């Protein structure tokens, strides 16, 4: 017997029972819902469907208890085997999107410098795909691991990502459409900030004024994650000062 599982599952069951009761859901509607869920499983969209509705809630819980930068959803397209990059992500030779300079620092919550920080950066291709997952695009395009310098700063050049449409041909897209919604996410750049002895920070940043920034199908945008519309020398500039917190095990050991 696992008390945590019992506690959470009983609460979920109770919440669903309340809705079935309140909405006076009929037996045929209930059967339709079961058929829908079986289709979700058959098409391999279980994680997609749950992420659309619930991942941002779990991330918000983490955000409430974190003293560091605002976290965001990871999405399904992180690759731990991305190449180390120096100062530029590899982009298509044909990519004519506006250049993007991502610039910033990494510090601990107490303001001190952190050693041995790496930052994974990844974003969509100009046609809204992710390398290493779609169309056999090699993993070294539009993603890489940056090493943060001794002075705590980093800088990388790439090109502007585009809004991303989550898979919309299956049951998840059909449900969003039936609900009068859509399957678009605003253009974004993913980050994963890692350092020994610190909690890993997984987040995303968005672009002020971008399409879908105020209407993300995954509800993943926090206002603190929207980079102001800043352009310097023809390049969009994203300035980010990451703050990371000591690993929780370590805090426990110190207490």
Among 141, 142, 154, 164, binds ligand DHB (CB under 6 A): 164
**Burial zone of 90 (CB within 10 Å; 0-12 exposed, 13-18 middle, 19+ buried):** middle
Nearest-approach distance from CB 238 to ligand DHB, in angstroms: 16
CA distance 84 to 208: 29
Residue nearest to Fe ion as judged by C-beta position: 75
Closer residue to Fe ion in complex, CB, 75/246: 75
48 binds, among ligand DHB, Fe ion, none (CB under 5 to 8 A by kind): ligand DHB
59 binds, among ligand DHB, Fe ion, none (CB under 5 to 8 A by kind): none
Q: For residues 133-166, b (16+ Cβ closer than 10 Å) or e, as one string?
A: eeeebebbbbbbbbebeeebebebebbbbbbbeb
Instruction: List C-alpha distances in Å: 170 to 41, 127, 180.
Output: 11, 20, 16
CB of 39 to ligand DHB, least distance (A): 17
Question: How wide is the angle at C-alpha 57 spanned by C-alphas 51 and 60, nearest 5°?
Answer: 130
The one of ligand DHB, Fe ion, none whose footprint includes residue 72, by CB under 5 to 8 A per kind, is: none
- Stretch 173-202 residues interacting with ligand DHB (CB under 6 A): 185
Helix (H) or strand (E) holding 234: none
Enumerate residues 22-81 that contact ligand DHB by CB under 6 A. 48, 51, 73, 75-77
CB of 166 to ligand DHB, least distance (A): 4
Q: How far is the CB of 174 from Fe ion (least distance, A)?
A: 21
What stretches of 22-108 adopt beta strand conformation (E)? 99-108
Work out how close the CB of 180 gets to ligand DHB at its nearest, in angstroms, rounded to a whole number.
19
Residue placing its CB nearer to ligand DHB in the complex, 120 or 152: 120
How far apart, in whole angstroms, are the C-alpha atoms of residue 73 and residue 55? 6
137's tokens: 């695009």
Task: Give the footprint of ligand DHB on this chain (CB under 6 A).
Answer: 48, 51, 73, 75-77, 164, 166, 185, 218
């Amino acid at each position: 017997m696992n008390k945590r599982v019992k506690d959470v599952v009983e609460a979920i069951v109770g919440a669903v029972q309340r809705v079935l009761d309140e909405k006076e859901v009929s037996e045929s509607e209930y059967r339709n819902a079961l058929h829908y869920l079986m289709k979700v499983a058959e098409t391999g969209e279980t994680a997609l469907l749950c992420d659309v509705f619930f991942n941002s809630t779990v991330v918000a819980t983490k955000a409430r208890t974190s003293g560091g930068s605002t976290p965001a959803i990871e999405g399904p397209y992180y690759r731990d085997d991305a190449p180390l990059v120096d100062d530029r992500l590899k982009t298509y030779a044909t990519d004519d999107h506006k250049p993007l300079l991502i610039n910033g620092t990494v510090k601990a919550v107490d303001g001190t410098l952190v050693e041995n920080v790496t930052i994974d950066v990844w974003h969509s291709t100009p046609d809204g795909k992710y390398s290493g997952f779609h169309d056999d695009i090699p993993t070294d395009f539009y993603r890489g691991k940056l090493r943060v310098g001794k002075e705590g700063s980093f800088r990388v050049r790439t090109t502007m990502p585009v809004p991303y449409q989550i898979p919309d041909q299956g049951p998840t897209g059909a449900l969003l459409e039936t609900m009068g919604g859509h399957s678009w996410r605003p253009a974004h750049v993913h980050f994963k900030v890692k350092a020994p002895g610190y909690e890993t920070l997984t987040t995303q940043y968005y672009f002020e004024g971008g399409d879908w920034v105020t209407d993300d199908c995954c509800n993943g945008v926090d206002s603190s994650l929207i980079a102001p519309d800043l352009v310097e020398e023809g390049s969009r500039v994203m300035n980010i000062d990451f703050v990371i917190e000591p690993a929780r095990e370590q805090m426990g050991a110190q207490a």
